[in-house]
Chain A
Amino acid sequence: MSIPSFLLRRSGSLLLVLLVTSFVVFGLMYLAPGSPLSFVLGPRGGTPDQIARVTEQYHLDDPFFLRYFAWLGDIVRGNLGESIVYRQSVTDLIGSRIGTTVALIALSTIIIAVVGIGLGLLASLKGGWTDQVVTTLATLGLATPTFVIGVALISVFAVGLGWFPTNGSGSGGFDTILHLTLPAIALAVASAAYLARITRAAVLEEEGREHVQTAVARGLKPAIIIRRHVLRNALIPITTVLGLTVATLIAGAVIVESVFALDGLGSLLVRAILQRDFAVVQAVILVLVVAFVIINAIVDFLYTMIDPRIQLGSKQ
């Protein structure tokens, strides 16, 4: 399949997924009890007059389909809507937070890729006690809750040693990297541990395959065997897992965001769900779905580069 038709097909399925997701999410939000009223009325509530005015203003009493299609109409016109709770346009709310999320996820991805693949290779190639240590570390990393890792990192590196700031996302450039290092590590630990195990298993499997054994028997240099025959083939499962992990990190960063007081999309989404802030929930979900689809498309592209036999968009 050519690249344009691949993109076209992906865009089509993206639109379909977006439509279905938005409908399901809107429906679930509608069915859940509670309302965003308390955030508009203030901490002491409001008079019946005030309640009526706000309900009218935000169409809170309109029937489900009316509200859904009104929202859909706005989206088609490129308007993501207004947050009831923050009295701001959703575009502004997301715009000011997406940078933090992207930087955090990017930094985490690098850590996951480098540490995960590195440790996995180390374990599978060296074997012996190195393998034991890495496997134990990976189990530990998978088992320790992100929250605990975050708090421990803050205690040791921020409060104790004073190397990193305790919270916030910094003012851009190097400052942001400094601020996001600890959160990115906390976010990366579990995924890196998982990737290390996947890498280890994939490499071990490839090592046992016939073409590798043939290469060894023919006396090729170990470095070449590993690079050309083992790693290249093992990269397929590794890329798949990495792609999926990164996509889930976006929404999964909530805990890290809360521990390090970062305001990213994850915490915005969770808060908006609990506050019943429809427009914000919908918009963040849309962003997540788009990100997920894009990451998957990138992974598909990578497949064709790793293994030219795989066709773009094929079912293989």
Chain B
Amino acid sequence: MSTHSTRKRRSLTLAGAAVAAALTLTACAGGGAGGAAGAQGGGLDVDLSNLATTTEPGTQPVDVVNWNLPYEPLSIDPWFSFNYAENTVIANMCESLMRMNPDLSTSPGLAESVATPDDTTYVYTLRDGVTFWDGTPLTPADVVYSLGRQVGPETPSYYNEYFLSVESVEQTGDREVTVKLKQPDALFEQAMSVAAGAIVQKAAAEAAGEQFGTPQGGMQCTGPFALDAWKAGKSIDLVKNENYWDAELAPKVEKLSFSFIADESTAINALRSGDVDGQFFYLPPTGLGQLESSDAVTTTYGKSFVFWTLASATEEGPFSDPRVREALLQSIDRQAVADVVFQGAAIAAPTLAGPDYWGDRADIFEPAWSEFSAKSDPAKAKELLGEVGDLSKPITIAIQGSSAVHEQTANLLQAAGQAVGLTIETKVVPVEQYGNLYFDPEARKGIDAFFTTWYGNVTDPLDVYQVFTEGGMSNFGNYTEVSDLISQARAELDPTARAELTNEIQAKVTEDLPWMPLNYMPTILVQNDRISGATASVAYLYYPWAATIGGVE
């Protein structure tokens, strides 16, 4: 199951090629010849079929592993996670009812089995002999508490969308918890393998109250690593859980210490010098070349759910016209974006949800997905715009302040758009306020679209497309064409039938482009050569990825 795609790239050649590609693209766009030219410049360095899920497990015990996070988590309570740094830490501490494996499949976690007597009932039988770090046994009351607190319209849980259909969570036996749904919902069951289904100790959570999951309030879970100390602003230290129930995932690392180096160049220097032993990157860092050429670290590209997209945020103006959106997408060379903006460490995306979402239904998803192409077609773009007519109004795209990735992609879009007659303007939003675009219509005023690195949580493309539910909180442009189909698909519990419905949704979404697919972003795992074994796929957000790390002789 371990497929490796570790390689050392020739960073200089690549950088040169990328610059060349950028120049070609701009030059062509300027001359009105279209954007197709730069495509062959960078070459595909990361290919879809060869992404890793694991790295060779290290065999030796290790005293301390220092891991870096891109920022300090705001909370380590699972229901306040849903983001890279938070989940990277929580994945090693708190386990869910089901477990998402490195290959993105699902297997039993804290629940040894789940029964579905009917379409709206899930009976979870808890594993025997599981204890929290403090030695007390895992009980159904903890499960009822952990799930129950996420149900209802008022819950602050970041995963509330997965609990929309839940009617009740009750203890129905010594080791049994039953979840009743109002209507069948395939995504609920799948979400139990991510942090939405993570189980915390009821007593600890109630004792800490609002402080639970903060440096003062601590945490109490069952995972292979226990929280030792969260020194606010400095580090989060985890220690090996000696009594962990799963012998196969017993850690070889005594202490796992997280630092919070936000500055990319500092993080890369820390990795090169060995001050930090590893880090996951969801976007290629600016110094990726330095890491590739360093002989102290190994870089691995893994399967991922993350994609780079331009989400439309308006129901008015030129960008609300699907033809304008398609014209813009046809004018831009997504391979050039991958090569120029992401240094080759990205894949041109024909759709929003990529192949890593397919799971065991690849036979149904793949043929439908293969019908779409990521190739650009400026001639078609011009033709479409000819039908639209009036293009005098500019399209305003919000970009995140001090983000090179946002700015460079916007530059490429501007150049490509200009070549086919679209005027694109950018509006810079500071990084700390960018998050407001996701929920505040006021913040989106005057903005036609914005960039986002999005990901679904579970191995099902439907989890990505469900954002287009009517009235859904991330349906920024209020795109409603597939809303009924989404409801149908969520209620369809047969994976094959659901996959077929999802294909229908995908076809419609890829035609109308409420969100523009740009690139799939592989997980980038960097490990110091003294250790190996971290999970390489995006499962690191939910799977105890550090449990397999060991020393290399």
Contacts and interface: CB of A to CB of B under 8 A. Distances in A.
Given A50-B160, A162-B273, A166-B266, A92 B259 contact: no
Contacts of A275: 432
A258 B263 contact: yes
Contact of A37 (B211, B213, B440): B440
Interface in B190-246: 210-211, 213-216, 231-235
Contact of A46 (B232, B430, B473): B473
Interface string B254-268: 000001111101110
B438 interface: yes
Most chain B CB neighbours (cut-off 10 Å) among A37, A47, A85, A154: A47
A46 B439 contact: yes
A135 interface: no
B272 interface: yes
Contacts of B158: 41-44
B149 to A, nearest CB: 14
Contact of A42 (B72, B82, B213): B82
Contacts of A88: 211, 214-216, 232
Contacts of A39: 74, 435
Interface in B12-69: none
Interface in A22-52: 33-35, 37-47, 49-51
A89 B210 CA distance: 11
A103 interface: no
Given A44-B474, A169-B234, A263-B234, A38 B266 contact: no
A274 B262 CA distance: 16
Contacts of B497: none
Nearest to B474: A44
Interface string B166-201: 000000000000000000000000000000000000
Contacts of B156: 40, 50, 53-54
Contact of B436 (A38, A86, A260): A38
Nearest to A161: B273
A55 to B, nearest CB: 11
B116 interface: no
A165 B432 contact: no
A13 interface: no
A96 B266 contact: no
Contacts of B273: 158-159, 162, 165-166
A312 B153 CA distance: 64
B232 A96 contact: yes
B234 A44 contact: no
B154 A154 contact: no
Interface string A245-266: 0000000000000111101100
B215 A45 contact: no
Most chain A CB neighbours (cut-off 10 Å) among B153, B233, B473: B233
B275 interface: yes
A42 B154 CA distance: 14
B83 A261 contact: no
A274 B400 CA distance: 13
Contacts of B269: 154-155, 158-159, 166-167
B431 interface: yes
A89 B432 CA distance: 20
Interface string A79-105: 000000111110011001100100000
Contacts of B75: 87
Q: Which 9 interchain pairs have the tightest Cβ spacing? A: A45-B439, A38-B435, A263-B233, A274-B432, A42-B158, A45-B438, A261-B261, A96-B232, A49-B153
25 contacts: A34-B430, A34-B433, A35-B436, A37-B436, A37-B439, A37-B440, A38-B436, A44-B158, A45-B440, A46-B473, A50-B154, A86-B232, A87-B75, A88-B211, A89-B216, A96-B234, A151-B265, A155-B269, A162-B273, A259-B263, A260-B266, A261-B262, A263-B233, A271-B432, A275-B432
Given A44-B474, A54-B156, A165-B273, 18 more contacts: A35-B436, A37-B436, A40-B156, A43-B158, A44-B158, A45-B473, A50-B153, A87-B213, A92-B215, A92-B216, A92-B232, A96-B233, A100-B234, A162-B273, A258-B266, A259-B265, A261-B263, A263-B232
